[in-house]
Amino acid sequence: MKIVVIGSSNTDLIVRIPRIPKPGETILGGRFMTAAGGKGANQAIAASRAGGEVSFIACLGNDDLGDEALRGFESDGLDTSHIFRETSPPSGVALIFVGDDGENSIAVAGGANMSLTPEKIRKSRQVIEASDILVVQLEIPLDSVMEAAGTASARGIPVLLNPAPALELPNVLLAQLSFLTPNESEAELLTGIPVTNSESARKAAADLRERGVKTVIVTMGRRGAFVSSAEMEDMVPGFEVEAADTTAAGDVFNGALSVAVSERRPLPEAVRFACAAAALSVTKEGAQPSVPLRNEIESFLQAH
């Protein structure tokens, strides 16, 4: 099944520290590492390693970080023929603090990601229209997300939007979505309903479905995900694992979900597959370095 992912690519600069600093506070003793990241790239890699045939549409700077990112995509088997290069601005960078409890705090300099314009999306129209599912996020211009979603939905191609980083979204876009996958805070921003448990997730999901989304999946970390669709309204339980780094767990969930959905698995099974992939990812450090392979996901599911 052919999956098209449109989105961001960043280089992650990561500092491991005992805890996330408070405003104005400096914490010493951290360990530094770099890793490939960006929500779009993470989801494309996750979909590929979970068994998908993935084309990635993105924009990189014409710099060393962009060259390194491109080599990584090619080594993971992505179709990179629709990746654009920009002489200015530079490739995107994310600054990430990771505490000993696995929680993180992230700031992103989008750089070339914001040059992924609707015009570039139109240049990639052919590959979008040949896909089985389109996956997008919000680290690129919203106009480009809307251009891509409109192109896919007009052909009856399912659109999966991970609304991160959180933005208020127009109803015209929501009505084009087959799947919307907010976490608790993103669901609250979109609906005004604080999401703390399955009942509040149900209310938020119902609000979003009334605005046109076909299936809403509210991701809730280790608790799992609340699924609201025409076929079901229920929690799909998650997995208890020892977290080393939660960076990219949501991206891994979405990439794996796109594969399971494109394989036409029943929705509860598809979400459980995605939860397993996300659980595996938090046991390792880094964004793309933590993304599991399909055989690892299947072995994990068999053991649980």
- The phi, psi pair for 37, rounded to 5°, reads -155, -155
Q: Is 251 a catalytic residue?
A: yes
DSSP state of 23: T
| C-alpha to C-alpha distance for 285 and 48, rounded to whole angstroms | 19
Residues 6+ positions from 38 with CB-CB distance below 8 Å: 7, 8, 9, 10, 58, 92, 94, 113, 139, 287
Check 12, 79, 245, 251 and give the catalytic one: 251
Q: Which amino acid is located at 282 in the chain?
A: V
Q: Kindly state the tokens that stand for 277.
A: 């992939």
| CB distance 84 to 59 below 8 Å | yes
- The phi, psi pair for 300, rounded to 5°, reads -60, -45
DSSP state of 139: S
Can you give the C-alpha Rg of the chain in angstroms? 18
| C-alpha to C-alpha distance for 67 and 85, rounded to whole angstroms | 10
| CB distance 162 to 254 below 8 Å | yes
The residues carrying an active-site annotation are 251
